[in-house]
Structure 1
Protein backbone atom coordinates (compact mmCIF):
# COMPACT_ATOMS: atom_id res chain seq x y z
CA UNK A 1 0.00 0.00 0.00
CA UNK A 2 1.18 3.50 -0.82
CA UNK A 3 -0.59 6.65 0.35
CA UNK A 4 -0.12 8.27 -3.06
CA UNK A 5 -2.85 7.41 -5.55
CA UNK A 6 -4.71 8.65 -8.59
CA UNK A 7 -6.90 11.61 -7.70
CA UNK A 8 -10.66 11.21 -7.98
CA UNK A 9 -13.83 13.29 -8.00
CA UNK A 10 -16.21 12.98 -5.04
CA UNK A 11 -19.67 14.54 -4.69
CA UNK A 12 -21.25 14.93 -1.24
CA UNK A 13 -24.85 15.47 -0.15
CA UNK A 14 -25.81 16.11 3.46
CA UNK A 15 -26.06 18.33 6.49
CA UNK A 16 -23.66 21.19 7.15
CA UNK A 17 -23.56 23.14 10.41
CA UNK A 18 -21.45 25.61 12.34
CA UNK A 19 -20.01 24.08 15.51
CA UNK A 20 -19.40 26.20 18.58
CA UNK A 21 -16.75 24.12 20.30
CA UNK A 22 -16.38 24.63 24.04
CA UNK A 23 -13.45 22.99 25.85
CA UNK A 24 -13.91 21.99 29.51
CA UNK A 25 -11.69 20.24 32.02
CA UNK A 26 -14.56 17.83 32.64
CA UNK A 27 -18.26 17.70 31.88
CA UNK A 28 -20.37 19.38 34.58
CA UNK A 29 -23.17 17.64 36.43
CA UNK A 30 -26.71 18.87 35.86
CA UNK A 31 -27.56 22.15 37.64
CA UNK A 32 -23.87 23.03 38.17
CA UNK A 33 -21.41 25.43 36.54
CA UNK A 34 -17.87 25.03 35.26
CA UNK A 35 -15.23 27.20 33.63
CA UNK A 36 -14.68 27.26 29.87
CA UNK A 37 -11.00 26.72 29.02
CA UNK A 38 -11.24 27.68 25.36
CA UNK A 39 -13.82 28.01 22.62
CA UNK A 40 -13.85 28.26 18.83
CA UNK A 41 -16.20 28.18 15.87
CA UNK A 42 -15.77 25.73 13.01
CA UNK A 43 -17.83 24.27 10.18
CA UNK A 44 -18.88 20.68 10.70
CA UNK A 45 -21.05 17.88 9.38
CA UNK A 46 -20.09 14.30 8.46
CA UNK A 47 -19.96 14.83 4.71
CA UNK A 48 -18.29 18.29 4.55
CA UNK A 49 -15.54 17.21 6.95
CA UNK A 50 -14.82 14.05 4.96
CA UNK A 51 -14.74 16.12 1.77
CA UNK A 52 -12.37 18.65 3.36
CA UNK A 53 -9.95 15.81 4.10
CA UNK A 54 -10.22 14.42 0.58
CA UNK A 55 -9.73 17.89 -0.89
CA UNK A 56 -6.62 18.35 1.27
CA UNK A 57 -5.26 15.16 -0.28
CA UNK A 58 -5.75 16.48 -3.80
CA UNK A 59 -9.11 15.01 -4.78
CA UNK A 60 -11.73 17.11 -6.56
CA UNK A 61 -14.75 17.56 -4.27
CA UNK A 62 -18.20 19.12 -4.48
CA UNK A 63 -20.99 19.46 -1.93
CA UNK A 64 -24.71 20.12 -2.12
CA UNK A 65 -26.46 21.42 0.99
CA UNK A 66 -28.49 24.34 2.28
CA UNK A 67 -27.98 27.08 4.85
CA UNK A 68 -29.40 30.48 5.73
CA UNK A 69 -28.42 33.96 4.63
CA UNK A 70 -27.03 34.73 8.07
CA UNK A 71 -23.69 34.97 9.87
CA UNK A 72 -23.37 31.18 10.15
CA UNK A 73 -24.18 30.86 6.45
CA UNK A 74 -21.34 33.23 5.63
CA UNK A 75 -18.99 31.09 7.75
CA UNK A 76 -20.13 27.97 5.89
CA UNK A 77 -19.54 29.48 2.46
CA UNK A 78 -16.11 30.80 3.48
CA UNK A 79 -15.10 27.39 4.83
CA UNK A 80 -16.18 25.54 1.69
CA UNK A 81 -14.24 27.98 -0.45
CA UNK A 82 -11.11 27.72 1.71
CA UNK A 83 -11.40 23.92 1.72
CA UNK A 84 -11.65 23.93 -2.09
CA UNK A 85 -15.05 22.22 -2.02
CA UNK A 86 -17.22 23.27 -4.96
CA UNK A 87 -20.75 24.34 -3.89
CA UNK A 88 -22.66 22.24 -6.42
CA UNK A 89 -26.29 23.36 -6.36
CA UNK A 90 -26.02 24.52 -2.75
CA UNK A 91 -28.52 27.18 -1.69
CA UNK A 92 -28.40 29.99 0.87
CA UNK A 93 -32.07 30.47 1.75
CA UNK A 94 -33.40 33.89 2.77
CA UNK A 95 -35.30 33.93 6.04
CA UNK A 96 -33.98 30.51 7.07
CA UNK A 97 -31.62 29.68 9.92
CA UNK A 98 -28.35 27.91 9.23
CA UNK A 99 -27.65 24.71 11.09
CA UNK A 100 -25.51 24.96 14.20
CA UNK A 101 -24.28 22.79 17.05
CA UNK A 102 -23.00 23.28 20.58
CA UNK A 103 -20.10 20.89 21.08
CA UNK A 104 -18.71 20.35 24.58
CA UNK A 105 -15.29 18.71 24.61
CA UNK A 106 -13.74 17.26 27.75
CA UNK A 107 -10.06 18.20 27.61
CA UNK A 108 -8.90 15.36 29.88
CA UNK A 109 -10.42 12.61 27.72
CA UNK A 110 -11.27 14.16 24.34
CA UNK A 111 -14.88 12.98 24.68
CA UNK A 112 -17.56 15.24 23.19
CA UNK A 113 -21.25 15.90 23.78
CA UNK A 114 -23.30 17.59 21.06
CA UNK A 115 -26.61 19.43 20.85
CA UNK A 116 -27.50 20.16 17.23
CA UNK A 117 -30.02 22.18 15.22
CA UNK A 118 -29.76 21.02 11.62
CA UNK A 119 -31.57 23.99 10.13
CA UNK A 120 -33.65 23.67 6.98
CA UNK A 121 -31.25 21.22 5.36
CA UNK A 122 -33.60 19.10 3.25
CA UNK A 123 -32.73 18.91 -0.44
CA UNK A 124 -35.59 18.29 -2.87
CA UNK A 125 -34.84 15.37 -5.21
CA UNK A 126 -35.67 17.58 -8.18
CA UNK A 127 -33.01 20.08 -7.06
CA UNK A 128 -30.14 17.57 -7.15
CA UNK A 129 -27.07 18.76 -9.03
CA UNK A 130 -27.07 15.83 -11.46
CA UNK A 131 -24.10 17.12 -13.45
CA UNK A 132 -21.81 16.80 -10.42
CA UNK A 133 -23.21 13.36 -9.57
CA UNK A 134 -22.74 11.94 -13.06
CA UNK A 135 -19.16 13.24 -13.27
CA UNK A 136 -18.14 11.90 -9.85
CA UNK A 137 -16.15 8.73 -9.26
CA UNK A 138 -17.95 8.43 -5.92
CA UNK A 139 -20.67 10.10 -3.87
CA UNK A 140 -20.77 10.42 -0.09
CA UNK A 141 -24.05 10.65 1.86
CA UNK A 142 -25.11 11.03 5.50
CA UNK A 143 -28.70 9.80 5.13
CA UNK A 144 -30.43 13.15 5.52
CA UNK A 145 -32.59 14.37 2.62
CA UNK A 146 -33.49 10.70 2.24
CA UNK A 147 -35.43 10.90 -1.03
CA UNK A 148 -32.73 13.01 -2.65
CA UNK A 149 -30.02 10.69 -1.28
CA UNK A 150 -31.72 7.63 -2.79
CA UNK A 151 -32.06 9.38 -6.14
CA UNK A 152 -28.42 10.48 -6.01
CA UNK A 153 -27.27 6.94 -5.24
CA UNK A 154 -29.24 5.48 -8.14
CA UNK A 155 -27.94 8.15 -10.50
CA UNK A 156 -24.34 7.54 -9.43
CA UNK A 157 -24.67 3.80 -10.03
CA UNK A 158 -25.91 4.44 -13.57
CA UNK A 159 -22.49 6.02 -14.19
CA UNK A 160 -20.61 3.24 -12.33
CA UNK A 161 -19.90 5.59 -9.43
CA UNK A 162 -19.27 4.21 -5.95
CA UNK A 163 -21.80 5.12 -3.25
CA UNK A 164 -20.70 5.68 0.37
CA UNK A 165 -22.98 6.27 3.36
CA UNK A 166 -22.03 7.47 6.84
CA UNK A 167 -25.14 6.50 8.81
CA UNK A 168 -24.74 8.20 12.18
CA UNK A 169 -28.34 7.89 13.39
CA UNK A 170 -31.63 6.27 12.33
CA UNK A 171 -33.13 8.06 9.33
CA UNK A 172 -36.55 7.74 7.68
CA UNK A 173 -36.42 5.05 4.96
CA UNK A 174 -32.85 4.19 5.94
CA UNK A 175 -33.25 0.61 4.71
CA UNK A 176 -34.27 1.83 1.25
CA UNK A 177 -31.17 4.01 1.14
CA UNK A 178 -28.82 1.29 2.42
CA UNK A 179 -30.05 -1.00 -0.37
CA UNK A 180 -28.61 1.51 -2.87
CA UNK A 181 -25.25 1.89 -1.08
CA UNK A 182 -21.97 0.13 -1.88
CA UNK A 183 -20.01 1.07 1.26
CA UNK A 184 -21.78 1.59 4.58
CA UNK A 185 -20.22 2.93 7.77
CA UNK A 186 -21.93 3.36 11.12
CA UNK A 187 -20.99 3.60 14.81
CA UNK A 188 -21.46 0.62 17.09
CA UNK A 189 -23.85 2.64 19.27
CA UNK A 190 -26.37 2.80 16.44
CA UNK A 191 -26.69 -0.97 16.06
CA UNK A 192 -29.01 -1.52 19.02
CA UNK A 193 -31.36 1.17 17.69
CA UNK A 194 -31.56 -0.54 14.32
CA UNK A 195 -31.52 -4.15 15.53
CA UNK A 196 -32.32 -4.36 19.27
CA UNK A 197 -30.60 -7.12 21.25
CA UNK A 198 -28.59 -8.43 18.30
CA UNK A 199 -24.86 -9.16 18.35
CA UNK A 200 -22.46 -7.01 16.35
CA UNK A 201 -21.86 -9.82 13.87
CA UNK A 202 -25.58 -10.50 13.47
CA UNK A 203 -26.17 -6.80 12.82
CA UNK A 204 -23.42 -6.72 10.22
CA UNK A 205 -24.93 -9.73 8.45
CA UNK A 206 -28.35 -8.07 8.38
CA UNK A 207 -26.85 -4.89 6.94
CA UNK A 208 -24.93 -6.80 4.26
CA UNK A 209 -28.12 -8.62 3.30
CA UNK A 210 -29.66 -5.26 2.40
CA UNK A 211 -27.17 -4.77 -0.41
CA UNK A 212 -23.86 -3.07 0.55
CA UNK A 213 -20.62 -4.64 -0.63
CA UNK A 214 -18.84 -3.65 2.59
CA UNK A 215 -19.89 -2.57 6.08
CA UNK A 216 -17.61 -0.91 8.62
CA UNK A 217 -18.59 -0.47 12.26
CA UNK A 218 -16.56 1.98 14.35
CA UNK A 219 -16.03 1.43 18.07
CA UNK A 220 -14.18 4.56 19.17
CA UNK A 221 -11.25 3.71 21.42
CA UNK A 222 -11.72 -0.01 20.65
CA UNK A 223 -11.10 0.33 16.92
CA UNK A 224 -13.29 -0.74 14.01
CA UNK A 225 -14.73 -3.80 12.27
CA UNK A 226 -14.92 -4.43 8.53
CA UNK A 227 -17.39 -6.90 7.02
CA UNK A 228 -17.98 -8.16 3.50
CA UNK A 229 -19.57 -11.36 2.23
CA UNK A 230 -16.21 -13.15 2.12
CA UNK A 231 -14.71 -12.26 5.49
CA UNK A 232 -14.59 -10.01 8.53
CA UNK A 233 -11.68 -8.34 10.28
CA UNK A 234 -11.00 -6.07 13.24
CA UNK A 235 -8.54 -3.19 13.51
CA UNK A 236 -7.64 -2.06 17.06
CA UNK A 237 -7.44 1.67 17.69
CA UNK A 238 -3.98 3.18 17.81
CA UNK A 239 -2.96 4.23 21.34
CA UNK A 240 -2.88 8.04 21.31
CA UNK A 241 -3.73 10.76 23.80
CA UNK A 242 -6.98 12.22 22.48
CA UNK A 243 -7.71 15.90 22.95
CA UNK A 244 -10.74 16.18 20.64
CA UNK A 245 -12.69 13.23 19.22
CA UNK A 246 -15.20 15.44 17.40
CA UNK A 247 -14.96 14.63 13.70
CA UNK A 248 -13.07 11.36 14.23
CA UNK A 249 -15.74 9.35 12.46
CA UNK A 250 -15.99 11.89 9.66
CA UNK A 251 -12.31 11.63 8.77
CA UNK A 252 -12.46 7.84 9.16
CA UNK A 253 -15.06 7.84 6.39
CA UNK A 254 -12.99 10.18 4.24
CA UNK A 255 -9.98 7.91 4.61
CA UNK A 256 -12.04 4.82 3.73
CA UNK A 257 -13.24 6.57 0.58
CA UNK A 258 -9.63 7.41 -0.33
CA UNK A 259 -8.50 3.83 0.21
CA UNK A 260 -11.42 2.33 -1.67
CA UNK A 261 -10.87 4.55 -4.71
CA UNK A 262 -7.19 3.55 -4.62
CA UNK A 263 -8.27 -0.13 -4.75
CA UNK A 264 -6.60 -1.03 -1.44
CA UNK A 265 -7.48 -4.24 0.37
CA UNK A 266 -9.99 -4.06 3.23
CA UNK A 267 -7.21 -4.55 5.79
CA UNK A 268 -5.06 -1.82 4.25
CA UNK A 269 -7.78 0.80 4.14
CA UNK A 270 -9.18 -0.09 7.58
CA UNK A 271 -5.73 0.30 9.17
CA UNK A 272 -5.16 3.52 7.23
CA UNK A 273 -8.54 5.02 8.22
CA UNK A 274 -7.99 4.11 11.87
CA UNK A 275 -4.61 5.87 11.78
CA UNK A 276 -6.13 8.99 10.20
CA UNK A 277 -8.78 9.08 12.92
CA UNK A 278 -6.13 8.71 15.63
CA UNK A 279 -4.06 11.58 14.22
CA UNK A 280 -7.09 13.84 14.04
CA UNK A 281 -7.99 13.09 17.69
CA UNK A 282 -4.59 14.35 18.83
CA UNK A 283 -5.41 17.90 17.71
CA UNK A 284 -8.44 20.14 18.28
CA UNK A 285 -10.77 21.09 15.46
CA UNK A 286 -11.78 19.38 12.24
CA UNK A 287 -9.94 21.47 9.64
CA UNK A 288 -6.52 22.36 11.07
CA UNK A 289 -6.38 18.86 12.60
CA UNK A 290 -6.74 17.09 9.24
CA UNK A 291 -3.47 15.20 8.67
CA UNK A 292 -1.34 15.35 5.54
CA UNK A 293 -0.88 12.05 3.69
CA UNK A 294 2.83 12.10 4.53
CA UNK A 295 2.00 12.36 8.24
CA UNK A 296 -0.26 9.30 8.00
CA UNK A 297 2.43 7.33 6.22
CA UNK A 298 5.01 8.29 8.86
CA UNK A 299 2.60 7.34 11.65
CA UNK A 300 1.97 3.91 10.11
CA UNK A 301 5.71 3.33 9.68
CA UNK A 302 6.43 3.85 13.39
Structure 2
Protein backbone atom coordinates (compact mmCIF):
# COMPACT_ATOMS: atom_id res chain seq x y z
CA UNK A 1 0.00 0.00 0.00
CA UNK A 2 1.07 3.59 -0.61
CA UNK A 3 2.80 5.38 2.26
CA UNK A 4 1.48 8.79 3.34
CA UNK A 5 3.74 11.46 4.88
CA UNK A 6 2.76 14.69 6.63
CA UNK A 7 4.75 17.60 8.08
CA UNK A 8 3.66 19.70 11.03
CA UNK A 9 2.97 20.38 14.64
CA UNK A 10 2.65 17.84 17.40
CA UNK A 11 1.32 19.32 20.63
CA UNK A 12 -0.84 18.64 23.66
CA UNK A 13 -4.28 20.09 24.26
CA UNK A 14 -5.50 20.99 27.74
CA UNK A 15 -9.19 21.77 28.01
CA UNK A 16 -11.23 23.81 30.47
CA UNK A 17 -13.91 21.69 32.16
CA UNK A 18 -16.48 24.50 32.15
CA UNK A 19 -17.72 26.63 29.30
CA UNK A 20 -17.05 30.33 29.51
CA UNK A 21 -14.72 32.95 28.13
CA UNK A 22 -10.96 33.03 28.50
CA UNK A 23 -8.52 31.97 31.20
CA UNK A 24 -8.53 35.01 33.47
CA UNK A 25 -9.29 33.12 36.69
CA UNK A 26 -8.39 29.71 38.16
CA UNK A 27 -10.49 26.89 36.71
CA UNK A 28 -10.47 23.12 36.41
CA UNK A 29 -8.71 21.69 33.37
CA UNK A 30 -8.55 18.24 31.76
CA UNK A 31 -5.61 16.96 29.78
CA UNK A 32 -3.04 16.73 28.37
CA UNK A 33 -4.48 15.14 25.23
CA UNK A 34 -2.29 14.26 22.21
CA UNK A 35 -3.04 16.80 19.48
CA UNK A 36 -1.91 18.85 16.49
CA UNK A 37 -3.81 18.78 13.19
CA UNK A 38 -1.11 16.85 11.25
CA UNK A 39 -0.75 14.39 14.14
CA UNK A 40 -4.51 13.76 14.27
CA UNK A 41 -4.64 13.35 10.48
CA UNK A 42 -1.80 10.83 10.41
CA UNK A 43 -3.12 8.91 13.42
CA UNK A 44 -6.43 8.43 11.59
CA UNK A 45 -4.52 7.20 8.54
CA UNK A 46 -2.63 4.70 10.70
CA UNK A 47 -5.82 3.47 12.37
CA UNK A 48 -7.02 2.42 8.91
CA UNK A 49 -3.89 0.32 8.40
CA UNK A 50 -2.25 2.60 5.84
CA UNK A 51 1.56 2.98 6.00
CA UNK A 52 2.34 6.53 7.13
CA UNK A 53 4.79 8.80 8.90
CA UNK A 54 5.13 12.33 10.27
CA UNK A 55 7.92 14.92 10.26
CA UNK A 56 7.81 17.01 13.42
CA UNK A 57 9.61 17.87 16.66
CA UNK A 58 8.71 17.45 20.33
CA UNK A 59 10.43 18.33 23.56
CA UNK A 60 12.21 15.89 25.83
CA UNK A 61 9.24 15.90 28.21
CA UNK A 62 6.09 14.02 29.14
CA UNK A 63 3.98 16.00 26.66
CA UNK A 64 6.20 14.72 23.87
CA UNK A 65 6.16 11.19 25.22
CA UNK A 66 2.38 10.86 25.35
CA UNK A 67 2.16 11.96 21.72
CA UNK A 68 4.92 9.66 20.50
CA UNK A 69 3.54 6.73 22.49
CA UNK A 70 0.08 7.23 20.95
CA UNK A 71 1.36 7.62 17.39
CA UNK A 72 3.76 4.68 17.67
CA UNK A 73 1.09 2.42 19.19
CA UNK A 74 -1.37 3.28 16.42
CA UNK A 75 1.18 2.48 13.71
CA UNK A 76 2.65 5.84 12.67
CA UNK A 77 6.31 5.95 11.58
CA UNK A 78 7.81 8.49 14.04
CA UNK A 79 11.43 8.06 12.94
CA UNK A 80 11.43 11.65 11.56
CA UNK A 81 10.16 13.25 14.77
CA UNK A 82 13.10 15.09 16.34
CA UNK A 83 13.51 15.33 20.11
CA UNK A 84 14.46 18.91 21.02
CA UNK A 85 16.56 18.98 24.22
CA UNK A 86 15.95 22.67 24.96
CA UNK A 87 12.37 23.51 23.88
CA UNK A 88 9.13 22.12 25.30
CA UNK A 89 6.53 20.22 23.33
CA UNK A 90 3.90 22.55 21.86
CA UNK A 91 0.66 23.14 23.73
CA UNK A 92 -2.83 24.53 23.33
CA UNK A 93 -5.14 25.55 26.16
CA UNK A 94 -8.76 25.54 25.01
CA UNK A 95 -11.98 26.84 26.49
CA UNK A 96 -15.38 26.56 24.83
CA UNK A 97 -18.00 29.29 24.94
CA UNK A 98 -21.63 28.34 25.43
CA UNK A 99 -22.09 29.14 21.73
CA UNK A 100 -19.48 26.55 20.71
CA UNK A 101 -16.84 29.16 19.86
CA UNK A 102 -13.43 28.60 21.42
CA UNK A 103 -10.63 30.54 23.09
CA UNK A 104 -7.09 29.22 22.51
CA UNK A 105 -3.74 29.94 24.09
CA UNK A 106 -1.06 28.35 21.89
CA UNK A 107 2.63 27.71 22.43
CA UNK A 108 3.76 26.61 18.98
CA UNK A 109 6.15 29.14 17.48
CA UNK A 110 8.55 29.02 20.44
CA UNK A 111 8.05 25.31 21.17
CA UNK A 112 9.82 22.31 19.66
CA UNK A 113 7.32 22.08 16.79
CA UNK A 114 8.22 25.64 15.78
CA UNK A 115 11.67 24.37 14.86
CA UNK A 116 10.82 21.58 12.42
CA UNK A 117 13.66 21.10 9.94
CA UNK A 118 14.52 18.98 6.90
CA UNK A 119 16.66 16.43 8.72
CA UNK A 120 18.28 13.29 7.32
CA UNK A 121 15.47 11.29 8.94
CA UNK A 122 12.86 13.50 7.26
CA UNK A 123 14.54 13.07 3.89
CA UNK A 124 14.56 9.31 4.39
CA UNK A 125 10.83 9.34 5.20
CA UNK A 126 10.08 11.29 2.02
CA UNK A 127 12.16 8.83 0.01
CA UNK A 128 9.96 6.01 1.31
CA UNK A 129 6.67 7.89 0.87
CA UNK A 130 4.30 7.75 -2.11
CA UNK A 131 2.03 10.59 -1.03
CA UNK A 132 2.40 13.90 0.85
CA UNK A 133 -0.48 15.54 2.69
CA UNK A 134 -0.03 19.30 3.22
CA UNK A 135 -2.00 21.13 5.92
CA UNK A 136 -2.55 24.87 6.08
CA UNK A 137 -1.87 24.86 9.82
CA UNK A 138 1.73 23.86 9.03
CA UNK A 139 2.40 26.76 6.65
CA UNK A 140 2.96 29.43 9.29
CA UNK A 141 6.36 30.56 8.05
CA UNK A 142 8.42 30.77 4.86
CA UNK A 143 10.65 27.96 6.16
CA UNK A 144 7.73 25.60 6.73
CA UNK A 145 6.31 26.42 3.30
CA UNK A 146 9.66 25.61 1.68
CA UNK A 147 9.96 22.33 3.59
CA UNK A 148 6.52 21.27 2.36
CA UNK A 149 7.29 22.36 -1.21
CA UNK A 150 10.62 20.55 -1.21
CA UNK A 151 8.92 17.37 0.01
CA UNK A 152 6.11 17.73 -2.54
CA UNK A 153 8.54 18.18 -5.40
CA UNK A 154 10.58 15.15 -4.28
CA UNK A 155 7.53 12.92 -4.06
CA UNK A 156 6.02 14.17 -7.33
CA UNK A 157 9.34 13.65 -9.14
CA UNK A 158 9.21 9.95 -8.40
CA UNK A 159 5.57 9.64 -9.50
CA UNK A 160 3.86 10.21 -6.16
CA UNK A 161 0.86 12.39 -5.33
CA UNK A 162 -0.01 15.33 -3.08
CA UNK A 163 -3.15 16.32 -1.18
CA UNK A 164 -3.73 19.77 0.29
CA UNK A 165 -6.14 20.83 3.05
CA UNK A 166 -5.71 24.63 3.08
CA UNK A 167 -7.43 25.58 6.36
CA UNK A 168 -6.77 29.21 5.43
CA UNK A 169 -8.31 32.48 6.50
CA UNK A 170 -8.59 35.36 4.04
CA UNK A 171 -6.33 37.55 6.16
CA UNK A 172 -3.52 34.98 5.95
CA UNK A 173 -3.38 35.50 2.19
CA UNK A 174 -2.62 39.18 2.77
CA UNK A 175 0.73 38.31 4.36
CA UNK A 176 3.62 39.07 1.98
CA UNK A 177 4.26 36.18 -0.39
CA UNK A 178 1.57 33.92 1.12
CA UNK A 179 -0.78 33.87 -1.88
CA UNK A 180 2.11 33.10 -4.23
CA UNK A 181 3.26 30.30 -1.90
CA UNK A 182 -0.24 28.82 -1.80
CA UNK A 183 -0.39 28.92 -5.60
CA UNK A 184 2.90 26.99 -5.75
CA UNK A 185 1.43 24.34 -3.46
CA UNK A 186 -1.80 24.15 -5.48
CA UNK A 187 0.29 23.61 -8.62
CA UNK A 188 1.67 20.43 -6.99
CA UNK A 189 -1.71 19.24 -5.69
CA UNK A 190 -3.64 16.21 -6.95
CA UNK A 191 -6.34 16.03 -4.25
CA UNK A 192 -7.67 19.34 -2.90
CA UNK A 193 -9.74 19.38 0.33
CA UNK A 194 -11.11 22.91 0.93
CA UNK A 195 -13.76 23.87 3.47
CA UNK A 196 -16.52 26.39 2.78
CA UNK A 197 -15.28 29.50 0.97
CA UNK A 198 -11.79 28.03 0.60
CA UNK A 199 -13.03 26.47 -2.64
CA UNK A 200 -12.77 29.87 -4.36
CA UNK A 201 -10.12 31.45 -2.11
CA UNK A 202 -7.10 30.41 -4.19
CA UNK A 203 -8.70 31.03 -7.58
CA UNK A 204 -9.84 34.05 -9.57
CA UNK A 205 -13.42 32.75 -9.59
CA UNK A 206 -16.35 34.17 -7.65
CA UNK A 207 -18.52 31.03 -7.76
CA UNK A 208 -18.00 27.31 -7.11
CA UNK A 209 -18.47 26.13 -10.70
CA UNK A 210 -15.85 28.49 -12.15
CA UNK A 211 -13.52 27.72 -9.26
CA UNK A 212 -13.70 23.99 -10.01
CA UNK A 213 -12.99 24.62 -13.69
CA UNK A 214 -9.97 26.73 -12.75
CA UNK A 215 -8.68 24.17 -10.22
CA UNK A 216 -8.94 21.30 -12.71
CA UNK A 217 -7.11 23.49 -15.22
CA UNK A 218 -4.25 23.79 -12.72
CA UNK A 219 -3.80 20.03 -12.78
CA UNK A 220 -5.83 19.04 -9.71
CA UNK A 221 -7.58 15.74 -10.39
CA UNK A 222 -10.07 15.66 -7.49
CA UNK A 223 -11.69 18.17 -5.13
CA UNK A 224 -13.51 17.34 -1.90
CA UNK A 225 -15.51 20.36 -0.74
CA UNK A 226 -16.20 20.07 3.01
CA UNK A 227 -19.29 21.92 4.22
CA UNK A 228 -19.67 20.94 7.87
CA UNK A 229 -23.21 19.99 8.82
CA UNK A 230 -24.19 20.16 5.13
CA UNK A 231 -21.89 17.22 4.36
CA UNK A 232 -19.23 17.06 1.66
CA UNK A 233 -19.07 16.84 -2.12
CA UNK A 234 -16.48 15.10 -4.29
CA UNK A 235 -15.75 16.53 -7.73
CA UNK A 236 -13.59 15.41 -10.62
CA UNK A 237 -13.78 16.44 -14.26
CA UNK A 238 -16.40 13.79 -14.98
CA UNK A 239 -18.69 13.58 -11.94
CA UNK A 240 -19.79 14.98 -8.61
CA UNK A 241 -20.95 12.99 -5.59
CA UNK A 242 -22.39 14.33 -2.33
CA UNK A 243 -22.50 12.71 1.11
CA UNK A 244 -24.82 14.07 3.78
CA UNK A 245 -23.51 14.57 7.29
CA UNK A 246 -24.43 12.15 10.06
CA UNK A 247 -26.47 13.50 12.96
CA UNK A 248 -24.56 12.93 16.21
CA UNK A 249 -24.29 14.42 19.68
CA UNK A 250 -21.28 16.73 19.58
CA UNK A 251 -18.88 16.47 22.51
CA UNK A 252 -15.75 18.04 21.01
CA UNK A 253 -15.48 19.09 17.34
CA UNK A 254 -11.68 19.53 17.39
CA UNK A 255 -10.03 17.06 15.00
CA UNK A 256 -13.17 16.09 13.08
CA UNK A 257 -11.91 17.63 9.83
CA UNK A 258 -8.52 15.99 10.27
CA UNK A 259 -10.15 12.58 10.75
CA UNK A 260 -12.31 13.17 7.67
CA UNK A 261 -9.23 14.11 5.67
CA UNK A 262 -7.21 11.15 6.89
CA UNK A 263 -9.97 8.69 6.03
CA UNK A 264 -10.75 10.16 2.62
CA UNK A 265 -7.12 10.48 1.54
CA UNK A 266 -6.47 6.88 2.55
CA UNK A 267 -9.40 5.58 0.53
CA UNK A 268 -8.63 7.84 -2.43
CA UNK A 269 -5.15 6.32 -2.60
CA UNK A 270 -6.66 2.84 -2.41
CA UNK A 271 -8.89 3.57 -5.38
CA UNK A 272 -12.10 3.31 -3.36
CA UNK A 273 -15.17 4.55 -5.24
CA UNK A 274 -15.60 8.24 -4.33
CA UNK A 275 -19.17 7.75 -3.08
CA UNK A 276 -18.01 5.04 -0.65
CA UNK A 277 -14.89 6.99 0.33
CA UNK A 278 -17.00 10.07 1.14
CA UNK A 279 -19.37 8.01 3.26
CA UNK A 280 -16.51 6.45 5.22
CA UNK A 281 -14.76 9.79 5.69
CA UNK A 282 -17.95 11.48 6.84
CA UNK A 283 -18.44 8.70 9.38
CA UNK A 284 -14.86 9.13 10.62
CA UNK A 285 -15.50 12.84 11.14
CA UNK A 286 -18.78 12.17 12.95
CA UNK A 287 -17.12 9.65 15.27
CA UNK A 288 -14.41 12.18 16.09
CA UNK A 289 -16.84 14.73 17.55
CA UNK A 290 -18.24 12.15 19.97
CA UNK A 291 -15.08 11.93 22.07
CA UNK A 292 -13.51 14.55 24.31
CA UNK A 293 -9.97 15.20 23.20
CA UNK A 294 -8.78 15.96 19.66
CA UNK A 295 -7.10 12.61 18.92
CA UNK A 296 -9.40 10.46 21.04
CA UNK A 297 -11.93 10.12 18.22
CA UNK A 298 -9.70 8.53 15.56
CA UNK A 299 -11.30 5.24 14.50
CA UNK A 300 -10.34 1.96 12.87
CA UNK A 301 -12.19 0.52 9.87
CA UNK A 302 -14.36 -1.84 11.93
CA UNK A 303 -15.56 1.00 14.17
CA UNK A 304 -16.40 3.16 11.16
CA UNK A 305 -18.32 0.35 9.43
CA UNK A 306 -20.23 -0.45 12.64
CA UNK A 307 -21.14 3.22 13.06
CA UNK A 308 -22.51 3.45 9.51
CA UNK A 309 -24.50 0.23 9.96
CA UNK A 310 -26.00 1.53 13.20
CA UNK A 311 -26.91 4.85 11.57
CA UNK A 312 -28.58 3.10 8.65
CA UNK A 313 -30.58 0.79 10.94
CA UNK A 314 -31.72 3.72 13.05
CA UNK A 315 -32.85 5.76 10.03
Aligned: 1:121 with 2:90: no
**Aligned equivalent of 2:6, options 9, 12, 17:** 12
Alpha-carbon deviations, 1:71-125, whole Å to 9, x = none?
Answer: 433333333333332223322223334322122246x776655443323535445
2:129 — aligned with what? 136
CA displacement 1:136-193 (0-9 Å, x = unmatched) = 2322221421111111111112232222222212573111012112112122154576
1:135 positional shift: 2.0
SS in 2 for 1:86: coil
Are 2:164 and 2:192, in contact at CA under 8 Å, matched by a contact in 1?
yes
* Structure-2 change in CA distance of 1:152 and 1:96 (3 Å): same
CA distance in 1, matches of 2:80, 2:116: 10
What is the 5 A alignment of 1:197-276?
A: 198-276=206-284
Q: Contact (CA 8 Å) 1:111, 1:245: kept in 2 or not?
A: no
SS of 2:193's partner is: strand
Structure 1: gaps of 5 or more residues: 1-6
d(CA) in 1 for partners of 2:24, 2:108: 27
CA distance in 2, matches of 1:299, 1:10: 25
The answer for the alignment partner of 1:4 in structure 2 is: none
**Deviating more after overlay: 118-127 vs 16-25:** 118-127
Greater helix fraction, Structure 1 or Structure 2: 2
CA RMSD of aligned residues (A): 3.0
Partners of 2:3 and 2:51 within 8 A in 1: yes
Of 268-277 and 58-67, more deviation after overlay is shown by 58-67
Instruction: Work out the number of aligned pairs and report it.
Output: 292
Unmatched 5+ residue regions in structure 2?
none
Match of 2:196 among 188, 192, 209: 188
**Is 1:176 aligned to 2:184, yes or no?**
yes
Distance in 1 between the 2:134 and 2:303 partners? 27
**Cα deviation, residue 194, structure 1:** 4.5
Mapped pair 1:59 → 2:67: no
